[in-house]
Structure 1
Amino acid sequence: MTDANAQPRLENKWDDNTAAGMTQPELLLYRSNLLGSDKRITNYGGGNTSCKVMQGDPLTGDQVEVLWVKGSGGDVGSIKMDGFATLYMDKLRALKGLYRGLEHEDEMVGYLPHATFNLNTRAASIDTPLHAYVPRKHVDHMHPDAIIAIAASVNSKELTQEIFGDDIGWLPWKKPGFELGLWLGDFCEKNPDAKGVVLESHGLFTWDDDAKACYALTLEIIQKAMDWFGAQTSGKPAFGGEKHTALPAADRRSVAARLMPAIRGMVSGQQHMVGHFDDSDAVLKFVNANDMEPLAALGTSCPDHFLRTKIRPLVVDFDPARPDVDATLAGLPEAVAAYREDYKAYYDRCKHADSPALRDPNAVVYLVPGVGMITFAKDKATARISAEFYINAINVMRGASAVSTYQGLPEQEAFDIEYWLLEEAKLQRMPQPKALAGRIALVTGGAGGIGSAIAERYLREGACVMLADIDEAALAETVSGLSAKFGPDVVRSTLMNVTDEAAVTQAYADMAVAFGGVDILVSNAGIASSAPVEDTSLEMWNRNMAILSTGYFLVSREAFKVMRTQDIGGAVVFVASKNGLAASPNASAYCTAKASEIHLARCLALEGAEAGIRVNVVNPDAVLRGSKIWSGDWLDQRASTYGKDKDGLEEMYRQRSMLKRNVLPEDIAEAAYFLASDLSSKSTGNIINVDAGNVQAFTR
């Protein structure tokens, strides 16, 4: 935020005891992590830091000056020592003699590896010359909202002078690279007493010869800008005042839950996209404001912002005073198509002969008056970070428009950043997406051994997973473990009884808001009971049918609704049982309910095929390890049925199988992965038995 009155002051977190005894590179790492810990100082992945130190040359043993600088693609808040590039300063200075002018600027990046110190494999970033040619030992380059609000104002040079005097200089917009590095070095030579510089539409550079002093200076300059904005904007309405009133929080989520699967289907043509919803105060003030639409149309200013968000968002036609979600949904296809055409026209106007091919023309950011902001990207973390970046842009627009006139980057300059050949090369170096990247899965019975194993298998392949279970404690423990392993972005949970129609419907709404929709349903919730038919109570019979048949129907019905809205296909996997095909003594309620599951799957496979929704079944048998149904009376009942004690039951199951092998939760997970992935894209209505071999359960 640029309103200093709305937030606490920046905290100097430097601890002399922690820093004591650190080497200069270690102090650089310490400083970087401190700066990146506060998003008011710089956004995720944005900005960079450096230091120049004397080190022994590994070949000659002579002391040489080495630049340590954040490597390409890193994040200062989470960077480790191996995240810094190291380069000989004498070689970086020698590059000036090879520079052939602005039209040949990009070739200078190819020379940077030749300046590598000590065979460091970390690639140097495009900002390396900016750090190299500042004649100070420590340099910070940050992207604080308060500074970018100055930098994105029409009269940013005058504002910089007014706020900072001669302490901080100003340079006009120039695409990051070698030329800008020369400009910055020239500025330092001509202004030896300056403490830093504001780069128009870009960010802040500050420097010092001491690591601690450099850190303190960076905080001081940013806080000074925040204080100035606080005084200038106090009492003034943001963005021209309020045009709309936000809906209540529950209603906002309800609208988002309906919009997000529809949008997701429209933008997932090239790859499955994952969504993120944000209705924070900063977002709501913007989407509800009089000036939202004209400001949004101007586009973002800082390159870091629009590389994540595209240059401008799509404003969704929705009136919170007369909410009509059906009308909004009806108008979305035309709005999305118009955005694509506008983006393609922008590409055609600005492209060069050697520009990379047109990328995904869909919007990343969707602004909904009265509701909030929706973002879509190739994975959940990127969707969330894109939202964070657009909030940065909102803060910049708020500050700049309050004290001056906000300006985005000129269209051609924005294009030259977005379709920069160096940026394209970075994209091409990224690893290939995993098999389930962009896919969203719901796993019922997710806290049990089979459910959690399936969830982990999907997460390993890049999916987002919501786990549903009725056991709150077990669910929390499972989610905690998976989140620790795969990160909190990709794991969600819902306490859900599959027989409760309202709870099932709400779970899908929550999943739509969390991730954007659903691609995979694993219906796995289960119970087991055992009794001779004459001892089978109506309550036992109904309980089995309610959970194992009705429950599977309810979660499948809601999955079909969302999948049809998305119109990008889907996969439903029923975890049934060998007992659905092969009768078992003293288990008529359980076996009948499992047989009902299998036939329901066949029916759904018929109905879903025209929409690309595949429905298949995994039939386990005797999965004792980690399974909750074996922890209660069922274990005693089955042991009694077969005349075994508890310890002998698993061995009995192993010996009765044709392959004489135990069946584990991981084995079921492998089959569930196959049926959810594109490996089985031509299979529906099928059954995979994972039972180590049982002739009675052969499907033919």
Structure 2
Amino acid sequence: MSDLNPAFAALVARSNRLGADPRNTNYAGGNTSAKGSETDPVTGEDVELLWVKGSGGDLGTLEPGGLAVLRLDRMRALVDVYPGVEREDEMVAAFDYCLHGKGGAAPSIDTAMHGLVDAAHVDHLHPDSGIAIATAADGEQLTKEIYGEQVVWVPWRRPGFQLGLDIAAIKEANPQAVGCILGGHGITAWGRTSEECEKNSRWIIRTAETYIRKHAKKAPFGARVKKWEPLAPAKRRARAAELAPLLRGVASKDALSDGGRGMVGHFTDDKVVLDFLASRNHPRLAELGTSCPDHFLRTKVKPMVLDLPADAPLEKVRARVAELHEAYRADYAAYYERNAKAFGGEWPAMRGADPLVILVPGVGMFSYGKDKQTARVAGEFYVNAINVMRGAEGLSTYAPIDESEKFRIEYWALEEAKLQRMPKPRPLATRIALVTGAASGIGKAIATRLAAEGACVVIADLSIERAQEAAAEIGGADVAVGVQVDVSDEAAVQRAVDAAVLAFGGLDLVVNNAGLSLSKSLLDTTVADWDLQHDVMARGSFLVSRAAARVMIDQGIGGDIVYISSKNSVFAGPNNIAYSATKADQAHQVRLLAAELGEHGIKVNGVNPDGVVRGSGIFAGGWGAKRAAVYGVEEEKLGEFYAQRTLLKREVLPEHCANAVFALVGPEMTHTTGLHVPVDAGVAAAFLR
């Protein structure tokens, strides 16, 4: 019945409006609530309820199922049994005993703030402008100067039941107030109606924005430094692609040591980032770290910053990155040990000492996570942090919460429990794949399967339109992107690999699938026919594998290269000289590269399909008609003809090739390289010897 309640419906609509504007709150940040009454289906009497955004989720996309529904009388009765701040965590479990009905989201730590404040509607948000006031050294004075008596300052307190009690008491003591600034954290606003609450939230945010704009000093980050000025756009992107594999290896050390795989990356050279990094004060501010819990839970307490000019020689950058990484890891370990010892008791094990955000002056920001969305959001949160620092430094001095408070939140038992509830990752999670010729046929089937198994996929094809269409079908930009490539063109191949690296942070898996065929006899095959097929498949596979191997070696994570060769690489058939010869070339590239790249943990394997008629771009482009003529069958029956000549009497489809690729690159064949897997339903003449 809740979804028919006017207060409930107004809450969802208000949440979506507020969350749709990044000036109001960051992704998945903040929560909103409403109070109202419904008939209890058991007693038939009215009962007062609290609807509040549950744990996780995002205001901008919040749906009814993302709200927790609690009995207000039972929730407020918890005040009488609250054991104090030293046992805060117990209160979240107690919220479960206040739930009303079935379904709905799990209550979050902020539930008390919404339930205890005496207002029908409450918003808790994380706007950059509000956090700028909240993290200014003189934030309390600024709050009074900006808002008078209408907004009240609340000193920093870790989110929880006591913070709810604090805000409830402040509202009661300040009946004229419409909200408060939470030190080091964000804002909370309230209202008698949903409209009034939303109006108050927006007023607090816009007032802060206006005040900062009018009163902030012109260069809040200090003067610009010439050696940190941004490179020209083209050079900047090229440098980013050059650095990305190296930096992904840095961010992935702990993940790999635990038996996992590398992190997925995100790159941005947004003006906000470049301006911050060009400033004199960015080293000091970066070292202070972020403040809002939503920020540092996704970015770690501080980033790693490269302190070299953007155009420094690559070997010098490699050496310096190694030094900075070692120092960062030591510093983070010391932070963990220092605070774990200071607080005593048992804490979750240190989760990893690698940075999640790496800043490169003149180039941009690299951020990392368990998938593309997490990596992208980490970057977005650091942009939020830059905006916060700009506002705080513009008015005062940026003063984030103490590191001890950051530690208590980062290693909070509730955060650890949330991590433990995360679903088990899919087999190819965090892996980044580039598939050539992937807009149709075998390539598209492979790309689709890899994405379904958790990989990020780059669809590379001669047609950018078809590549982008295929990527859109497979998933959004956090799953798949389309790029244009002519695999016979060395520069085009490098551009495609660079695009893959910039899209997802690196490269783990390459499938050389691009191909074409001209069915002609020896005497009818021209030099142009020969060159075309060898350029696309033999030369193209070589170029793609070489560019990909450079990335994989720089990452130090290992990887997979798979060739879609053909049973024709070992089977001699008529009128097929150029195609079969180039497939034999590809087949031997597999063996050669397996022998060469094994020391880097890179596996190289091949798949040898029989003719794949249905769904094949090659067969649809005239190859099918020519092969049908060779065998004296109707073109529409070619697949059936191929099936009947196999031992299993089965037609080979694109999906069967995709299955073989997954088997080779998945978790079960970690010790296999140099292998060719036949996917031909059994062609005795093509048996490998």
User: TM over 0.5, yes or no?
Assistant: yes
Q: Return the match for 1:615 from 604, 614, 634.
A: 604
Which residue of structure 2 aligns with residue 25 of structure 1? Answer: 8
State the shift of 1:121 in Å: 4.6
Given that residues 439 and 467 in structure 2 are in contact (C-alpha distance below 8 angstroms), is that contact kept between their aligned partners in structure 1? yes
Listed as ranges, the matches of 1:438-449 within 5 Å are 438-449=430-441
Match of 2:41 in 1: 58
Equivalent position to 2:390, from 390, 398, 407: 398
Q: What do residues 518-577 of structure 1 show as CA deviations (whole Å, max 9, x unaligned)?
A: 100100000011111111111111111111111111111111111111111111110011
1:254 and 2:246 matched:
no
For 2:235 and 2:24, the matched residues in 1 are separated by 34
CA distance in 2 between partners of 1:288 and 1:122 (Å): 43
How far does residue 267 in structure 1 lie from its aligned partner after superposition?
2.6
Q: CA deviation at 1:326?
A: 2.6
Answer yes or no: is 1:538 the counterpart of 2:522: no
The yes-or-no answer on 1:415 pairing with 2:407 is: yes
Q: What amino acid does structure 1 have at the position aligned with 2:655?
A: E
Q: Which residue of 1 aligns with 2:162?
A: 179
Aligned-residue sequence identity (percent) comes to 47
Which residue in 2 is equivalent to 1:241? Answer: 223
Which residue pairs with 2:182 in the alignment? 199
Does 1:668 pair with 2:657?
yes
Q: Which residue is equivalent to 2:416?
A: 424
Q: 1:557 aligns with which of 536, 543, 546?
A: 546
Take 2:148 and 2:220, find their aligned partners in 1: how far apart are those partners?
27
Is 1:628 paired with 2:617? yes
Note the 1:494-643 alignment, pairs <5 A.
494-643=483-632
Structure-1 residue corresponding to 2:274: 284
One-letter code aligned to 2:221: F
Q: Which amino acid aligns with 2:521?
A: P
Q: What secondary structure sits across from 2:668 in the alignment?
A: helix
Which letter does structure 2 place at the counterpart of 1:241? A
Q: Which ranges of structure 2 fall in alignment gaps of 5 or more residues?
A: 256-260
Counterpart AA for 1:263: L
Determine the C-alpha separation between the residues in 2 that align with 1:697 and 1:113. Answer: 64
Amino acid corresponding to residue 274 of structure 2 in structure 1:
L
- Give the letter aligned to residue 33 of structure 2: S
In structure 2, C-alpha distance between the alignment counterparts of 1:364 and 1:267, rounded to whole Å:
6
1:475 to 444, 467, 472: 467
**Residue 140 of structure 1: SS of its match in structure 2?**
strand
- Counterpart code for 1:610: E
| Whole-angstrom CA distance in 1 between matches of 2:270 and 2:468 | 26
- Counterparts of 1:69 and 1:672, CA distance in 2: 46
Contact 1:439–1:519, Cα closer than 8 Å, also in 2: yes
Do 1:238 and 1:289's aligned partners in 2 also have CA atoms closer than 8 Å? no
Q: How does 1:110-125 map to 2 (within 5 A)?
A: 110-125=93-108
1:337-348 matched pairs, under 5 angstroms: 337-348=326-337
CA drift of 1:471 comes to 2.3
Name the counterpart of 2:119: 136
Q: Is the 8 A contact 1:238 1:285 kept in 2?
A: no
Cα distance in 2, alignment partners of residues 489 and 22 from structure 1: 36
1:366 aligns with 2:358: yes
What is the SS of the residue equivalent to 1:285?
Answer: helix
Deviation at 1:327, TM superposition (A): 1.0
Corresponding letter in the other structure for 1:604: L
AA of the residue aligned to 2:434 = L
Task: Please give the secondary structure, in 2, of the residue aligned with 1:95.
Answer: helix
Provide the C-alpha distance between the structure 2 equivalents of 1:584 and 1:21, rounded to a whole number of angstroms.
Answer: 70
Structure 1 segment 266-277 matched on structure 2, within 5 A: 266-269=250-253, 270=255, 271-277=261-267
Contact 1:450–1:668 at 8 Å: present in 2 too?
Answer: yes
Task: Report the CA distance between 1:238 and its aligned residue.
Answer: 3.2
TM-fit CA distance, 1:303: 0.8
The one-letter code matched in structure 2 to 1:458 is L
Letter aligned with residue 92 of structure 1: M
- The TM-score, its normalising length taken from structure 1, stands at 0.95
- The Cα shift of 1:184 comes to 1.0
CA distance in 2, matches of 1:180, 1:316: 38
Q: Which residue of structure 2 lines up, in the alignment, with residue 5 of structure 1?
A: none
Deviations 1:458-501 (A, max 9, x none): 1111111111111233223212212xxx3221212221111101
Whether the 8 Å contact between 1:317 and 1:328 is mirrored in structure 2 is no
Instruction: Confirm whether residue 154 of structure 1 aligns to residue 137 of structure 2.
Output: yes
Q: Which residue does 2:258 correspond to in 1?
A: none
1:332 maps to which residue? 321
1:463 aligned to which of 455, 462, 479: 455
CA distance in 1, matches of 2:113, 2:602: 53
Aligned AA (1:110)? A
Give CA deviations for 1:562-610 in whole Å, capped at 9, x if unaligned.
1111111111110011111111111011111101110110111101111
Provide the C-alpha distance between the structure 1 equivalents of 2:471 and 2:213, rounded to a whole number of angstroms. Answer: 42
**Structure 2 residue aligned with 1:189, among 162, 172, 188?**
172
SS in 2 for 1:632: helix
CA contact (8 A) 2:614 2:639 kept: no
CA contact (8 A) 2:67 2:104 kept: no
Contact preservation (8 Å) 2:69, 2:104: no
Tell me the secondary structure at the aligned position of residue 354 of structure 2.
coil
Q: Is the 8 A contact 2:607 2:660 kept in 1?
A: yes
2:296 corresponds to which residue?
Answer: 306
Number of residue-to-residue matches in the alignment: 676
**Structure 2 CA distance for aligned equivalents of residues 53 and 581 of structure 1:** 74
Residue identity opposite 1:505 in structure 2:
Q
For residue 247 of structure 2, the aligned residue among 256, 263, 271 is: 263
SS at match of 2:83: coil
Contact between 1:573 and 1:616, CA under 8 Å: does it hold in 2?
yes
- Alpha-carbon distance between aligned partners in 1 of 2:164 and 2:199, rounded to the nearest angstrom: 24
Between the aligned partners of 1:679 and 1:461, the Cα distance in structure 2 is 13
